[in-house]
Chains A and B, each alone.
Chain A
Amino acid sequence: MELDFKALQPAEYLATFLVSPNPLLLFSVGSFVQEHGLRPDGRKADEARPVTVNTGSVSTADGSALVRMGGTLVTCGVKAELSNPPVESGDCGYLVCNVDLPPLCSPRVTPGPPTPRGQSLSQHLQDTLISCRCVDVKDLIVGQDNLCWVLYLDVVCLCDNGNVRDAVFFAATAALRNTSLPTVDVSSGSPEVSYQQRHPLSLPHLPLAISYSLFESHILLDPFHEEEELSSGHVSVVVLSHLKMGQPDCKLIGGLTKSGPPSLPSQKLIELVHRAQKRARLLADLLLTASGDKKT
């Protein structure tokens, strides 16, 4: 009966879950769960799915990461190439972000040209990284000799189980932190690249995205795919975390994007930003632990 209800009226099914006391849970679990606002996967509205991160998982890339958030699986690789700086401003390198959502990742995606969703994710990632100077393109200049690095940041979603944006940002951040560039010696006239001697990429801020779905009057942190599909709007906050005395500091905001109904009062948005800052601290901690910069 429960499955029929879910198939026929998905939105009402989700709405029934979020009210208190929850008749569906009473029906299936008995009187054990009297708590209100549980989502179909058993989380509370402001509870996120478990996150795992593995850095340096692609040996052929200059930096890489594999991130799993619940059922969402995203991998990111950074590849560096030498090139000439752009003609219009000769003092910076390039950062090229590409987010790919292949048909492999979800039945929603069909083969063909890149979807608007993938394009807008790529644009959001690239805008954030460049406008917040997370990667300073001016640091990508090599010597005085009209040479610069091009960083190709390719993100591939392997499994889209909702909230790809957070996973994409986390994977990109982890991969950039993992990136090291070969040393280039320009003193002898022709540039010589030594792949053995590498130096890490400087990364003043770690951009971490935290997204919410707006479903009717509920605000759901880290939505999974069914919630995402049924929700009409979303809010995503990009928190810039930097290291201060070995601890992540998450005061600065690199982006606040709200789109779709319902409209929210501004106090509510500020509260969401506060909550996102708290979660960003946890994510930054995880990243530091994963990259071995922090002993637990």
Chain B
Amino acid sequence: MAELRPLRCEFGVLERADGSARVVQGATSVLAGVYGPAEVKAGKERSNRASLEIVVKPARGQGGVRERFLEQLLAGCCEQCILASLHPHTALSVVLQIHTDQGSLLSTLCLALCLALVDSGLPLSSPFSSLSTACSPDGDLLTDPSLAQEQASQSLVTVMTDCSSGRVISTHTQGVCSLQQLESSLAHAEKAGEKMKQFYQKAVQRRLAKDAKFSHLNIAI
């Protein structure tokens, strides 16, 4: 059984955003805000769909090439779940602020993105989840690694899956891995997707019940 770090989320953290969520996974913390569908800048207007903009802000300093790379990855992931053709001639922007990066940053960003979209009430084709898996030099697989585990490992595979069908939306890998490791990372991510779906449902129930903003879960897959 693969352990995941404790996962926490909080909805409606930003008053002026149309949807927002803070996700804390282990010691990694990320805040996401969704703005839109709103007026679109000239030149970015698309006649058949909403134009999507994702901004990733690092904990300190200006964003660089790494942040642009994360933005492209997340935009590719988001495009598959937002029904962009429902909102033609509009712009949709998502801002993701990194608070602390203590491992599995990309998957935490992905969860925050999904929960903020859920909070904004935009129709989604399905919720999506994400799981990072690190492979240690001995060949052991570590799901949801911390920063120290990530640095000691020889590869890191992040898979984003569609929670309802279990199909792969996006993947990103770093380092050297074998085909077997890749296969088991994909299988772990699929299993985690089902757990995450339950977590999302629980989180939304809490939000609608208005008794507590926090949703908290210790999960194992």
B-binding residues in A (CB < 8 A): 116, 119-120, 122-124, 127, 131-133, 205, 232-233, 240, 251-266, 269-270, 273-274
Take A116-B72, A251-B179 as given contacts and tell me if A258 and B170 are in contact as well, using a CB distance cutoff of 8 Å: yes
**Contact: A133 with B176, CB < 8 Å?**
yes
For the complex, what is the distance from the CA of A9 to the CA of B214, rounded to whole Å?
49
Between A and B, how many residue pairs show CB distances below 8 Å? 97
A123 and B76 form a contact (CB under 8 A) = no
B interface vs A, CB < 8 Å? 65-66, 68-69, 72-73, 76-77, 79-80, 155, 157, 161-162, 165-179, 182-183, 186-187, 190
Which single residue of chain B is at the shortest CB-CB distance from A257?
B172
Tell me which of B69, B72, B165, B168 contacts A258 (CB under 8 A): B168
A172→B138 CA distance, assembly (Å): 30
Contact B168 A263 (CB under 8 A): yes
Contact of A256 among B73, B80, B171 (CB under 8 A): B171
Instruction: For A123, list chain B residues within 8 Å (CB).
Output: 65-66, 68-69
Identify the closest chain B residue to A235 (Cβ).
B171
Bound-complex Cα distance A119 to B157 (A): 22
Q: In the complex, what residue of chain A is closest to B162 when comparing beta carbons? A: A263
Q: Choose from A131, A232, A257, A266 the contact partner of B190 (Cβ within 8 Å).
A: A266
Interchain CB contact under 8 A, B80 and A262? yes
Closest Cβ of chain A to B189, distance in Å, is 8
Please provide the 6 A-B residue pairs with the shortest distance between their CB atoms, ordered closest to farther.
A259-B76, A263-B167, A266-B186, A261-B80, A123-B69, A260-B76
Q: Is the interface of B mostly helix, strand, loop or mixed?
A: mixed
Query: Known contacts A119-B68, A124-B69: does B168 contact A265 (CB below 8 Å)?
Result: yes
User: CB-nearest residue of chain A relative to B126?
Assistant: A263
Give the residues in chain B near A116, CB-CB below 8 Å.
Answer: 68, 72
Give the contacting residue for B167; candidates A251, A260, A264, A273; CB below 8 A.
Answer: A264
Chain A, Cβ-Cβ closest to B156: A131
Out of A119, A131, A274, name the residue touching B175 (CB < 8 Å): A131
Nearest CB of A to B192, in Å: 13
Residues on A with C-beta less than 8 A from B69 are 119-120, 123-124
- A-chain residues with CB within 8 Å of residue B65 when the two chains form the complex: 119-120, 122-123
Which B residues lie within 8 Å of A256 (CB)? 157, 171, 173, 182
A173 to chain B, nearest CB (A): 15
B176 lies within 8 A of A240 (CB): yes
A154 to chain B, nearest CB (A): 16
- Contact yes or no, B68 A253, CB < 8 A: no
Residue of A nearest to B177 (CB): A253
Partner of B179, one of A253, A264, A265: A253
Task: Identify 24 residue pairs between A and B in the complex whose beta-carbon atoms are under 8 Å apart, listed by A's number.
Answer: A122-B65, A124-B69, A131-B174, A131-B175, A132-B175, A233-B76, A251-B178, A252-B177, A253-B178, A253-B179, A254-B175, A256-B182, A257-B170, A258-B168, A258-B171, A259-B72, A260-B170, A261-B79, A262-B80, A263-B165, A264-B168, A266-B167, A266-B183, A270-B186
Q: How far is the CB of B18 from chain A (nearest CB, A)?
A: 23
Note all chain A residues with C-beta closer than 8 A to B167.
263-266
Choice from B161, B173, B186 contacting A253 with Cβ under 8 Å? B173
- Further contacts, 20 of them, CB under 8 A, given A253-B176, A254-B175: A116-B68, A116-B72, A119-B65, A123-B66, A123-B68, A124-B69, A133-B176, A233-B76, A252-B176, A252-B178, A255-B173, A256-B157, A256-B173, A257-B172, A258-B168, A263-B161, A264-B167, A265-B167, A266-B186, A269-B171
Q: Are B178 and A255 in contact (CB under 8 A)?
A: no
Distance in angstroms between the alpha carbons of A262 and B77 in the assembled complex: 10
Chain B residues positioned under 8 Å from A251 (CB to CB): 178-179
Q: How far is the CB of A78 from chain B (nearest CB, A)?
A: 20
Chain B's nearest CB lies how many Å from the CB of A112? 14
Cα–Cα, bound, A119→B186 (Å) = 28
A131 to B174, CA, bound (A): 6
B179:A270 contact, CB within 8 angstroms = yes
Pair A273/B171 contact, Cβ less than 8 Å:
no
Return chain A residues, CB-CB under 8 Å to B157.
256
Complex-state Cα separation, A132 to B68, whole angstroms? 21
Report whether A270 and B182 are in contact in the complex, using a CB–CB cutoff of 8 Å: yes
Q: How many angstroms from the CA of A131 to the CA of B150 in the assembled complex?
A: 12
